Amino acid sequence: MNMTGDLHEECGVFGIFSDHTEDVATKVYYGLFSLQHRGQESCGIAVNNDGVITSYKDAGLVNDVFDSESLAKLRPGKIAIGHVRYGTTGNDRRLNAQPIVVNHRKGRMALAHNGNLTNDAELREELEMNGSIFHTTSDSEVIAYIVTRERLKSSSVEEAVCRAMDTITGAYSLILMSPSKLIAARDPRGFRPLCLGKLENRYIVASETCALTALGAEFIRDIEPGEVLTIDDGGLRSDRTHCKKENPSLCVFELIYFARQDSVLDGVGVHSARMRAGSFLALEHPIQADVVIGVPDSGLDAAMGYAKQSGIPYGAGLIKNRYIGRTFIEPMQSERENLVKMKLSPVASVVRGKRVILVDDSIVRGTTSAAIVKILRAAGAAEVHFLSSAPKFLYPCYFGTDIDSQEKLFAWNNTDEEMIRKLGVDSIGFLSAENVMKLSDNPNVTGFCAACFTGKYPCKPPIKCGKDKYSRKLSEKSEEADEK
């Protein structure tokens, strides 16, 4: 699934506060590199040196946008934040790149955001009616405006962030940089992950623990849902005014697909969660087969879990070419399908003449899955049984995952028999909605958002328009104006 853009990633955020002026930009670069799986459209870094913020951002991968020359242009400093983006709202990759840097009468501010607001359209309209001029179509700019508005009425930037949380709704993990502070905030339901670490005398905030590991930093703890954490020369201060107001709702698809296998989110190991998903699949869908294989990368752990539970041997049936760019960048479906063949190669000796159980993280629109099945059939697989370590995608997501309508969802539009026929498989199976809520191996973690599978949303979906439709309309109007 993850080969052709059937589902697009979230964003990744990273921030560092050092007790002395140094080359913090390079450390952010390494942090972003480890979070690249969360977004490949654009990236950026902003550095604060004595209140002067320098930034650089562009469309592209981290190692394409940044080199020694561009990093050298970012002045040394004590604070820096970075962002990798796949946009869930806003279309222009370069225009909507983050961090967003804001100038206002109380100083400068830079902001990086992971998530999706549910009241973006209403807030944008309200701000525009009061004279605000937007330069992007991203809801992150809406957050920046709301925080700035509150900052003009607050005694500190952290107070402004707390007050802004009374206004914005939906999913947001924020890292914000003021002239003297690094601030991290997470929405009261904790849809998206955010954690705190320490590297010698530096504090680090990141979307995932794998970014801490990349720098050799020590994991301290997760930022709590609803928490506003402030880091400055005085150390750490936490405001928990918004904590425990809502039930925890970490996106369960973070465990299934978004996060990297070596990360731990809110006390739940991603690798073990995917292994559990595979074990549940084996119990729910017992199949007589010769080999279990997974689709790289996020389907591999679930395939191992299925093999371990069922006793059927696990095999490396598909090899991923890691030197080909993400195929969802290609605009034409025909190009995507060709790139699947280039990106995934079958190991014929593993699948030839075998009854194959193929495990992937999910099926969204079905095009990628059908292409992978064709690859295995061409390599000589006698049978192909397709299993998804996620339940059926049946409903739109409004909290950051790029599923904005039911119209394109494969499982919504087809019965199991129709899916079997269209994919060219011998059988198909999905993880149950009941067991997807049991992926945590931590007894203290029980709350997940699985609305894209169940239709049970933790908070009200957007009222005025669906996810991304508002920004699409803005882009369409902009294009019409350009043509005129």
Single-letter code of the amino acid located at 46: A
Q: How does strand 12-22 pair with strand 52-59?
A: unpaired
Q: Where are the domains of the chain?
A: 12-246, 272-442
Q: Quick one: average pLDDT of 77-86?
A: 95
CA–CA separation, 437 and 446 (whole Å): 7
Residue 100 to residue 126: CA distance in whole angstroms: 20
Question: What b/e readout covers 146-178, taking b as 16+ CB neighbours within 10 angstroms?
Answer: bbbbbbeebeebbbbbbbbbebbbbbbbbbbbb
- Give the active site residues: 11
The answer to whether domain 12-246 has CATH 3.60.20.10 is yes
3-state secondary structure of 189: coil
pLDDT, residue 342, reads 80
* Angle between helical axes of 367-378 and 333-343 (0-180°, round to 10): 40
Nearest to 89 by CA among 146, 152, 134: 134
Read off the pTM: 0.90
Asked if residue 10 has pLDDT above 80, the reply is no
Bigger pLDDT: 250 or 136? 250
User: Burial, 131: exposed, middle or buried (Cβ in 10 Å; 0-12, 13-18, 19+)?
Assistant: exposed
Rounded Cα distance between 181 and 232, Å, is 5
Beta partners for residue 265, in sequence order: 268
Q: 326 CB contacts (<8 Å, ≥6 apart)? A: 5, 40
CB atoms within 10 A of CB 369: 29
> Residue 258: which of 143, 358, 114, 371 has the closest Cα?
114
Nearest of 189, 170, 246, 252 to residue 434 by alpha carbon: 252
Please name the amino acid found at residue 20: H
Q: Determine the average pLDDT of the residues in 388-392.
A: 97
Q: How confident is the model at residue 476 (pLDDT cuts 50, 70, 90)?
A: very low
Q: Alpha carbon of 444 to those of 243, 253, 380, 441: distances in Å? A: 16, 19, 46, 9
Q: Which amino acid is at 470?
A: Y
pLDDT tens per residue across span 277-286: 999 999 999 9
Is 272-442 a CATH 3.30.1180.10 domain? no
Instruction: Give pLDDT, residue 334.
Output: 55
Q: Which two tokens stand for residue 325?
A: 């760019």
Give the span between the Cα atoms of 186 and 175, in whole angstroms.
9
CB 189 within 8 A of CB 153: no
8 A C-beta contact, residue 174 and residue 226: no
Look at 2-11, 198-207, 323-332, 423-432 and tell me which has the smallest mean pLDDT. 323-332
Name, of 114-123, 304-313, 394-403, the range with top average pLDDT: 304-313
